[in-house]
Structure 1
Amino acid sequence: MVILDTSIWIEFFRFDTRLDLKTIVNLEDIHICPPIYMEVLQGIRDEKAFQKVKTYFKQFKMVESPLSEELIEEAIHIFRLCKRSGLPVRNSVDCIISACAKKHNLSILHIDRDYKYISQIFPIKEKSIK
């Protein structure tokens, strides 16, 4: 069971690279959470593509919708731990995604160095595909 980070979805939907998800994960194991849904969809300019991706995401289980105050507090804790430890986490949304993954015992597949840093101080399962 996995959460695919926004970085994976961007790579998947790009026309020039066309990542094949089936080679890295069983599609039935994919989960998404509101921050990933938002980050991916907000970056799509073309309305037809926007609707297509929105429909595509409906096949995956959405976790933590709506986001709870408890989960946000956990994400704040993660971000502050990283900063105190001198780890250069660039995106607080990655802390929310990490909190979602931990709560639901999901691994995070990504192409984003923040998760390597987060995993040094917070118990998440993460794997970069590159």
Structure 2
Amino acid sequence: MILVDTSVWIDVLRDRQGRARGVFQAFMGDEPYVLCRFTQLELLQGAKDEREWGLLDEYLSAQYYLEATENTWRDAARIYFELRRKGLTISSPMDCCIAQVAMDGDALLLHRDRDFEKIGRIRPLKLSWFESS
């Protein structure tokens, strides 16, 4: 199972030439993919207008999701805490939550966000960098 991060969805959904979509489809093949609620939140908050919000909301409501567990929050906070103690800074604690959801679900995390590479230094996070160009 593959958890697709917001950074990939932005490339795929905003790609006017279809290149990112083609790379995404080729990468995925028949492999099932999921999102997490943090990705849903990030995509919806980035909608440009009401029309885009509606389209995204409809699309996202039909997707499959890996859900956070009761320990996700604490475990994600621990990731952030340990990164900081090692002198590694990430842009958002949300990435710690996404990484923890992926680990809890034993999913590969497909992404274009260097913060996940940092998290992967201290956690057994399965990662694949999405290269759309």
TM beyond 0.5: yes
Q: How many residues align?
A: 128
Partner of 2:13: 13
3-state SS in 1 of match to 2:28? coil
Q: Which runs of 5+ in 1 are unaligned?
A: none
Alpha carbon RMSD of aligned pairs, Å? 1.7
Partner of 1:113: 114
Residues 1:31 and 1:86: Cα distance change in structure 2 (over 3 Å): same
> 2:100 aligned with 1:99, yes or no?
yes
Q: Which runs of 5+ in 2 are unaligned?
A: none
Partner of 2:4: 4
Identical pairs, percent? 28
Partner of 2:81: 80
Give the aligned residue type for 2:53.
F
1:40 to 40, 43, 54: 43
Larger RCO (CA under 8 A, 6+ residues apart): 2
Residues 102 and 108, structure 2, Cα contact 8 Å, conserved in 1: yes
Residues 6 and 42, structure 2, Cα contact 8 Å, conserved in 1: yes
Residues 2 and 31, structure 2, Cα contact 8 Å, conserved in 1: no
Residues 35 and 97, structure 1, Cα contact 8 Å, conserved in 2: yes
1:23 to 2, 23, 26: 26
